[in-house]
Copies of this chain bind each other. A is one copy, B any other.
Amino acid sequence: MTTRALVDALDRGDTAALARAISLVENRRAGCEDVLTHAHARVGRRGARRIGLTGPPGAGKSTLTERLVQRYRGQDLRVAVIAVDPTSPFTGGALLGDRIRMESVSLDPGVFIRSMATRGSLGGLATTTEEVADVLEAFGFDRILIETVGVGQTELDIARSAESTALVLVPESGDAIQTLKAGVMEIADVFVINKSDRPGGDTLRQEIEVMLGLRRGNAFRNLPAHHHRSDRRTVGQSDRKRPQSDRPTVRPSDHWEPPVLATVATTGEGVAELAVALDRHRTFLDASGRLVARRRERLAERTRAVVERGLRQWVWEETPAPELLAQQLPEMAEGRRSPYDVAADILEQLRSGAIR
Chain B: minimal CB distance from A118 (Å) = 4
Find out whether the CB atom of B314 lies under 8 angstroms from the CB atom of A300: no
Chain B's closest residue to A32 (CB) is: B340
Cα A350 to Cα B88 in complex, Å, equals 38
A223 within 8 A of B: no
Chain B neighbourhood of A326, CB < 8 A: 300
Question: A225: CB under 8 A from chain B?
Answer: no
Flag if B335 contacts A181 (CB, 8 Å): no
CB of B340 within 8 A of CB of A306, answer yes
- Interface residues in A112-140 by Cβ distance below 8 A to B read 117-118, 121, 125
**A interface size (C-beta, 8 A):** 74
Pick from A44, A342, A351 the residue with the most CB of B within 10 Å: A351
Q: Which of B90, B300, B321 contacts A181 (CB 8 A)?
A: B90
Question: A79-119 CB contact bits vs B (8 Å, 1 = yes)?
Answer: 00000001111111100100000000000000000000110
Contact flags A300-321 to B (C-beta < 8 A → 1, else 0): 1011101110111011100001
Known contacts A325-B300, A332-B303: A314-B351 contact under CB 8 Å: yes
> Which stretch, A34-42, A190-198, A241-249, A266-274, touches the partner chain B?
A34-42
Interface segment, A60-68, A146-154, A282-290? A146-154
In the complex, the chain B residue whose C-beta lies closest to that of A346 is B307
CB neighbours (8 Å) of A93 from chain B are: 176, 179
Given A91-B179, A91-B180, A351-B356, 20 other A-B contacts at CB below 8 A?
Answer: A37-B338, A40-B340, A41-B335, A86-B153, A87-B150, A89-B180, A90-B181, A91-B182, A93-B176, A121-B153, A296-B329, A296-B332, A296-B333, A299-B333, A300-B325, A303-B325, A304-B316, A306-B340, A310-B347, A311-B315
